[in-house]
Chains A and B, each alone.
Chain A
Amino acid sequence: MRKIAGMLIVLLLSSLLQSFGQTAPVTGTVLAEDGKTPLIGVTVVNATTKKGTQTDASGHYTIAAEKGQQLVFSYIGYGILRLNAGDAAKVVMKPSNGELGEVVVTAMDIKRNARELGYSVQRVSGEEIAATQRENFVNALQGRVAGVTITPTTGQAGSGSSIVLRGFNSLSLSNQPLFVVDGIIVDNQTLNQTSNGGAGIGLVSDMANKNSDYTNRAADINPADIASITVLKGPEATALYGSQASSGAIVITTKRSKGNGIHVSYDNSFRTQKITRFNKVTNAYNSGTDGVYANIFQAGSGTFFGPKYSDTTKLYDNVHNFFRTGFTQSHNLGVDFGVKNSGFRFSASYINQDGVIPNNNYKKLNLRLSNSTKIGKYVEITPSFSIINSVNNKPLRGAGGYLLDLYLWPSDHDIHDWQDSVGGKATLVPNNSPNAELDNPVFSVNRNLSQDKNNRYIATLGININPFPWLSLAGRFGYDTYHTDGYMLYNRDSYNVTAAQKGALENYYLKYWSYNHTITATATKTYKKFNGRLMIGTMWQDNETGMYAVRGTNLTDPMGTDSSNTDPTTRTRLLRNAKGEYNMSINRNIAYFGEAAIGYNDLAFVSFTHRFETTSIMPAASRNYNYPGISASFIPSEVIPGMKESKVFSYWKLRASMASTARLSDPYANQSVFVNNLASGGGYAYGYTNANPNLKPERQKTYEIGTEFRMFDGRINAEVSYYNTLVKDQIAQGFRASYATGFILNTMNAASTRNKGIEAMISTSPIRKKDFGWDLTLNFNKMWNEVLSIPSTLTEYYIADTWVYANARGGLLRGGSTTTITGYHYSRNNKGDILINPLTGLPVIDNTFGVIGDRNPDFTLGINNTLRYKKWSLSFLWDLKVGGDVFDATDMFLTVQGKGIKTADRENARVIKGVLNDGLQNTEKPTENNIVVLPYRQQAYYTNMPEEEFLQKDVNWFRLRDLTISYNFGKWKKISNIGAFATFNDLVLITNYRGADPVSNGNTSANKGVGGFGFDYGNLPAPVSANFGLRVSF
């Protein structure tokens, strides 16, 4: 396959070079005002022959003309330019009317004039991303793009982040977008701990994705290499990328060589980080029950319900004493050099981050070499090669992790007394087995070790061939491969293992290998006032993930992290590992697609796309599928008299698009597997799961309408979009139904959702002066969503991983929102009064899962300011979220243990508002509760609180995400430019949330469906960061 692709390239190259080499037309490049940015789609007409062409993606054109003939250059938003054919090698065009001929990179690395697009695209510059100093560039997108939701897992170094564009469409498959770098698909997996009984790609321990964290692999991309990011959210934009982009695409263009000469740039950054946000706790009470002292330290509930510590008891501020000041250094080097027709760019980046948690460290090294070479007159190649190494040393999180134990730690005990005389785990209760007591947090981060080492190589090759003025061929070929070597060690004294296990160690080795290519041929034709474009192409993708994992117990060396350290008889492996082979997940796709676009007089555009896909994930019967897309845009300002010249309202565009797409399950979700028969005779029998062979891809239909306008000489640019997505035949996995299916758990196309929203983006330049400028951008998003159907057997559908603590989970009900939280709640009478147990005076709890909250915010707004004064510049991004509920599981965990802040006033007697559950509760006159409860003596007041009590409604935040102030010293001696900057991250958080930080995720970014955002359980909030650095270029 790869050989054939290679042959194809060679053949194309050689043949085209030969056949078109003899003609000698006039050629040239058309550039924007800056003299650098190529303009594409500029119409070039020979005034004599009346024949015309358009510039290609590099701004090149070729036209038949004799010396002396005049060429006419015209481009939307630009003035008309007439030049003699002899003077037209380098043409610089100036915009008219302040309108920028914005070029955006869309699907397939195709550069398009924004005006033509019938759908929303939003762009963020690489400088803006890099200026945030965030190692994981995904985190820099929040607030900068309307409709983007970024949820980092935790505030620890190396944390993963999940990204969702325009809300949740699929209930059980991934809602994360496709990542594309220079036209090549790049992997953004997050290691998934769930292996489905060892049959999948995951850990042997087959855990839910909640007790550790793994970096999402897009974080490997060096922010300093990014020239720009285009976020394709809409339907049409991704129709061409197919099923894998049904949740949108993040299209990244990297920096390329600027041309001849050598340019060197270097910048660095030194950062300190401090954790400033904590859960509120009370440390006033000793251990015990109902106010009576007992020397207990419980794992589940009810530890600190003893008497108050005496005034003489020495109390420790363990929570503050635990964290350290994080320190990060990063260095970026860029070297740019060019010779003749070839330009090179080399970049290197090194980050070493010590997180605020002791022992938490993230190191990353990026090396990249890219080139752009012209071969002959018609061919350009753009290869690149990247090496990325990262090491992440990380603590355990969530249940069994350091943070919950830290909050819970008895305040009369110094956490630094964590070792006994022989270096083992010190216990709080004498003679307790160390395994019976929760882990001291210092012990936890020093003895329960976990690490991921990742080595990644990405090689790409871009080929552009422009044999005729009207035809361009483009090929994008990419290899992306990495391996992750990791382990998770539980010390033999840890609470997370039993005494008999004597420690546990899981080692895993994940290898990812991917090849993909996209080959397109695009023809353009201008006829009178019509512009036509026809593109056909093919895409091939082969993604293979392999996993080797072994888990064992009975460690010879309690700190040894090599799998040989475990007792061989205790070792368990993934299914296929037992045969000495990798567990594999292979996903191959081939697609053919086409696009036909017609533009009329540069004011109306229509484009049709169609894509035919074949995937290895589906069985032969449903393997082939196809879907269409259509988009249109119309510029009324071109036809409304006087509008184009108006200073007030100069540009108006209307757009609409519609497309369907498909979404695929993970590989093998349609093949039931056999398990061992243990009864006499052995052999095999089907396992519980109906991996349904009749599965079909999910079908998604989206339409989008929008408008764009410019006012006041381009000082205000605004666009508004409305989108509406229906996803039918959703693949529901692992749900129960009648055994009549032949199985216990089932996989079927049996759910549907509707997701719609409004996005608005307004960018203004209130001040535009030579020495002083102010740009303000607003990104607004509001979403609605609804679960139209779930499998008929179910009253509630949920992703099991979201069940992180107690009885609350990301449960969905028919007719409800896709972002609801279900959980246990108070029993109420038909008037809504809480029922009170007449014997105890405590509320009656309804121990069934009902909707207790909805995580979907009312709206989000990103407010991005950039101020420039002479050599100073200041930019800051506020992120506003209004509404949306959060389940504060951390608070619940602490409350049932007598540490939560709710328990601080336990000595005040009270009567719970409600009516007695005495048989009269649903009558006209229910009995008002008047039973006095003193929680100090009745801890059940706290320990029996339902999940509903810890659901915080309508959580708002107003967060200063990034603030950068920089000064440009200008030229100094041989240094062409020196700059200095200070950047602050997460500096200000104004919120009504009572926990530490409302940005929370109970799971990792490996989770599917709606995921675990809005579940705050043992989450470390984002620390406050201050970065200082210098930037020089030669």
Chain B
Amino acid sequence: MTKNILLKYACFGAIMAMLGTGCKKLIDDAYTNPNADVEQPIETLLPNMISNLVNSYTANGTNYGTVVDNYYIGRYIQYWCANANGNQYDKMGGATGSSDIMGNMWAAHYYGMGQNLNKVILWGTEQKKWDYVGVAYALRAWGWLSLTDQYGEVVLKEAFNTSRDQFDYDSQAEVYDTVRAVAFRALSYLDMTGDNVSAANLAKGDAYLFNGDVNKWKKFVYGVLARSYNHLSNKSGYQPDSVIKYADLAMSSNEDNAVYTVANETTSATKNYFGPFRANIGSLVQGEFITNLLSGNNTVFGVADPRAYYLIRENFNGTFKGIRPNYGATGTTGLDTADLPRNYWGGQYSSSKSLDPRYLYADDSPWPVMTATEMQFMKAEAAYRKGDKATALIAYTNGISLSMDMMYNYPNNIPAGKAMTATAKANYMANAAVVPTSAANLTLTQIMLQKYIALYCFGVSETWVDMRRFHYTDTDPATGAQVYAGWTPLSAADLYINNNQKLVYRCRPRYNSEYLYNIPALTALGALEVDYHTKECWFSQQ
């Protein structure tokens, strides 16, 4: 071979190499899907994630979040009942058959926030938007806690692996550890400044919760931490000081509250789920227990509560009456027709609407997700358990006061003379049965019942955690009386047949996720048993 020929071959080789390099770029260029968006600014992903705290609505799936599940869980704790007899959930039944009922928190955590949240972390890190990363972790911490409190054991370690088709469940203890780890990670990112951290930019995605206020997000995370310690009150390792510490760091005024606002535009997607436009809660009526607490019929407080005109609804006689679960049909309530409670939109005892919805029952009502009043009650309980009754009383008093003040934010349609005023509030709180004059007289019952009232409607999940901690009917060792005084559990005969005469302690995981496609894991867990929903969660066990 001549030198000339060798040169030709060298040329050939060089050209092949050039072709290869050129082609590589063309191949890289062709990878990304040009038709649909495979990447979006993280600012545009946050609104949906936040909506999953309450109720989501996207082109691919709606109603993930807490509010729809709480529509059912609210009956377990007797916040409300169905206006018909024998309702499965009034009877503390779990979801059955192919129903996804009470599976919306599952969907919110894994799918609604799910990979969207992972992408905010990934892209937020790349873009050095540490505030967004922190917010994403904050929501993830909230998600894990809310998820495990509702379902018990959940998929933790294998979650979000897009290449698995079976997922093992992990213990609730591990999920609790993760909640705190993720919460601390959230705090460390929320503490970061500089780079592309910007309140104005965070506000773009956060317009409907904190409007970009990182400090409020931190308080939100502290609130999650406070909850995570508070829920373990039955455990030997219970740390009341941690509850107090994080409750103090969390929201302390109603301005700090995590309240999800809605745009209330023409479409139902932008309206409050409990409002008349969406017409979801027409057949719900107030429970007898809450009504007695607010009307003064419950002997613990024994006075009319000015919040009654907000939280529940007076009947056509102008009085407050509630319904016993499982006995909601007009003929079996034991009430005269005019005493029958109206529904939450002021309609008659049916699904009908009036046009004067109050409080959280209007189309545009901002929905509290986590509030300062809750923090105060957690602190009160922890201090009380610790024996620091003086601190407990202060926190307890603050809790009531904050709860009453929240009413000022919902002035619409309150009958004349019934609106919350400083006087009404002061009168109520001046009652020694409500606020004991001496810290020594404070009882666990008072704390838990005032918390029950303060979290009415929006705080179903947290109240259910509380009631499960007290196994619904536990007694206060100090008084020997039932902590939730006046709360009547269902009789064995009134419980749903699948319950095997036991009270409800958890929701089953979402049917269309787990009961169709993750059977081996459910079998291992015992979740295929018909009374799985009566199995007590780890958090409330001693």
Contacts and interface: CB of A to CB of B under 8 A. Distances in A.
The reply to whether chain A is a binding partner of chain B is: yes
A683 B12 contact: no
A190 interface: no
B514 interface: yes
Interface in B477-535: 510, 512-514, 516-518, 521
A15 B8 contact: yes
Contact of B163 (A11, A744, A748): A748
A620 B12 CA distance: 28
A739 B37 contact: no
29 contacts: A19-B8, A538-B16, A574-B35, A583-B34, A584-B34, A588-B30, A616-B31, A673-B37, A674-B40, A677-B44, A677-B59, A678-B57, A679-B47, A680-B47, A680-B208, A682-B44, A683-B40, A685-B60, A686-B119, A736-B516, A736-B517, A737-B517, A738-B167, A740-B513, A740-B518, A741-B165, A742-B111, A742-B162, A791-B165
A792 interface: yes
B513 A739 contact: yes
A793 interface: yes
A918 to B, nearest CB: 26
Contacts of A359: none
Nearest to A688: B60
A15 B15 CA distance: 14
Interface in A607-627: 614-620, 623
A792 B30 contact: no
Contacts of A683: 40, 43-48, 205
A538 B263 CA distance: 58
B165 A679 contact: no
B422 interface: no
B46 to A, nearest CB: 7
A671 B43 contact: no
B36 A575 contact: yes
B355 interface: no
Interface string B367-400: 0000000000000000000000000000000000
Contacts of A684: 37, 40, 44-45, 48
Interface stretch (B19-27, B124-132, B284-292, B456-464): B19-27
Contact of A738 (B20, B166, B264): B166
Contacts of A874: none
A8 interface: yes
B207 A681 contact: yes
A690 B516 contact: no
A574 B165 CA distance: 31
Contacts of B188: none
A739 B107 contact: yes
A685 B5 contact: no
B301 to A, nearest CB: 37
Contacts of A679: 47-48, 51, 55-58, 262, 269-270
Contacts of B512: 736
B167 A686 contact: no
Nearest to A794: B517
A95 interface: no
Contacts of A421: none
Contact of B513 (A16, A540, A592, A738): A738
B33 interface: yes
Given A675-B59, A694-B162, A681 B263 contact: yes
B116 A540 contact: no
Contact of B35 (A584, A615, A620): A584
B271 to A, nearest CB: 9
Interface of A: 1, 4-5, 7-8, 11-12, 15-16, 19, 198-200, 538, 540, 542, 574-576, 581, 583-584, 586-590, 592, 614-620, 623, 667-668, 671-688, 690, 692-694, 736-744, 746, 748-750, 791-794
A693 B20 CA distance: 25
A426 to B, nearest CB: 41
Interface stretch (B152-160, B177-185, B335-343, B403-411): B152-160
Among all A-B residue pairs, the 6 with the closest Cβ atoms: A681-B47, A683-B44, A616-B30, A673-B36, A793-B517, A678-B269
B33 A685 contact: no
B48 A576 contact: no
Nearest to A586: B30
Interface of B: 2, 4-5, 8, 11-12, 15-16, 18-20, 22-24, 26-38, 40, 43-51, 55-62, 106-107, 110-112, 114-116, 118-119, 155, 158-167, 205, 207-208, 261-265, 267, 269-270, 510, 512-514, 516-518, 521
Given A686-B116, A743-B115, A11 B11 contact: yes
A736 to B, nearest CB: 5
A681 B207 CA distance: 7
Contacts of B119: 686
A752 to B, nearest CB: 14
A687 B59 contact: yes
Nearest to A690: B162
A583 B270 contact: no
Nearest to A20: B5
Contacts of B28: 616, 620
Given A668-B33, A742-B114, A677 B57 contact: yes
Contacts of B61: 688, 744
Contact of B31 (A619, A737, A742): A619
Contacts of A680: 47, 51, 208, 261-265, 269-270
Nearest to A574: B35
Given A8-B15, A743-B114, 14 more contacts: A590-B27, A615-B27, A672-B38, A673-B37, A678-B57, A678-B58, A678-B270, A679-B47, A679-B269, A680-B263, A681-B48, A690-B115, A738-B521, A740-B513
Contacts of B19: 1, 4-5, 8, 538, 540
B158 A682 contact: no
B419 to A, nearest CB: 27
Contacts of A588: 23, 26-27, 30
A746 B36 contact: no
B344 to A, nearest CB: 21
B135 to A, nearest CB: 13
Given A616-B27, A616-B28, A675-B59, A738 B514 contact: yes
Nearest to B18: A4
B358 to A, nearest CB: 21
Contacts of A5: 19
Contacts of A681: 46-48, 50-51, 205, 207-208, 263
Nearest to B107: A739
A323 to B, nearest CB: 41
A741 B162 contact: yes
A586 B58 CA distance: 29
A617 B261 CA distance: 42
Contacts of B16: 538
Contact of B165 (A614, A619, A682, A792): A792
A671 B32 contact: yes
A576 B34 contact: yes
A685 B112 contact: yes
A822 B166 CA distance: 25
Contacts of A687: 59-60
B37 A674 contact: yes
A585 to B, nearest CB: 8
Contacts of A794: 517
B208 A793 contact: no
A675 B115 CA distance: 13
Contacts of A19: 2, 4-5, 8
Nearest to A791: B165
A461 to B, nearest CB: 17
Most chain B beta-carbon contacts within 10 A, residue among A680, A737, A750:
A680
Contacts of A672: 38, 115
A16 B29 CA distance: 35
A1001 to B, nearest CB: 28
Contacts of B267: 678
A667 B33 contact: yes
A611 B112 CA distance: 43
Contacts of B43: 683
